[in-house]
């Protein structure tokens, strides 16, 4: 299974660490802060960075943004999610 976490702050970053620690699933991240991506990679919380246009390849997308930003992200990128995938 391929998982992507959008927003690697406190909630998204914690979920990424838990997924990597407790499963054998591939976990990727999207974040606007390059330092956050670098930190998540250094801590092995994610397997790599993902581009928004690659979301169609993910079985599960976890959006860990503030509520208003979550609604905006999902609305603006609805056509990029995998059909039958979990958001």
The per-residue pLDDT for range 23-63, each reduced to its tens digit, is 999 999 999 999 999 999 999 999 999 999 999 999 999 99
Q: Please report whether residue 86 resides in a domain.
A: no
Q: Please report whether residue 45 resides in a domain.
A: yes
> Residue 18 sits in which domain range?
2-80
Q: Please report whether residue 87 resides in a domain.
A: no
Other Cβ atoms closer than 10 A to 9: 13
CATH number at 25 reads 3.40.50.720
5's enclosing H/E stretch is strand 2-6
**What is the model's pTM?**
0.93
Q: Please report whether residue 22 resides in a domain.
A: yes
Other Cβ atoms closer than 10 A to 34: 9
What is the rounded average pLDDT of the residues 1-14?
Answer: 97
Please tell me the distance from the alpha carbon of residue 71 to that of residue 23, in angstroms, as a whole number: 28
What are the tokens at 54?
A: 């690659």
Q: Please report whether residue 34 resides in a domain.
A: yes
Q: Please report whether residue 85 resides in a domain.
A: no
What is the total count of domains within the chain? Answer: 1
């Amino acid at each position: 299974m391929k998982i992507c976490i959008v927003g690697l702050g406190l909630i998204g970053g914690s979920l990424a660490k838990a997924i990597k620690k407790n499963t054998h699933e591939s976990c990727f991240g999207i974040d606007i802060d390059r330092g956050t991506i670098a930190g998540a990679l250094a801590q092995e919380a994610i397997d790599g960075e993902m581009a928004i246009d690659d979301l169609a390849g993910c079985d599960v997308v976890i959006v860990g943004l503030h509520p208003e930003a979550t609604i905006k992200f999902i609305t603006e990128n609805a056509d990029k999610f995998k059909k039958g995938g979990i958001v």
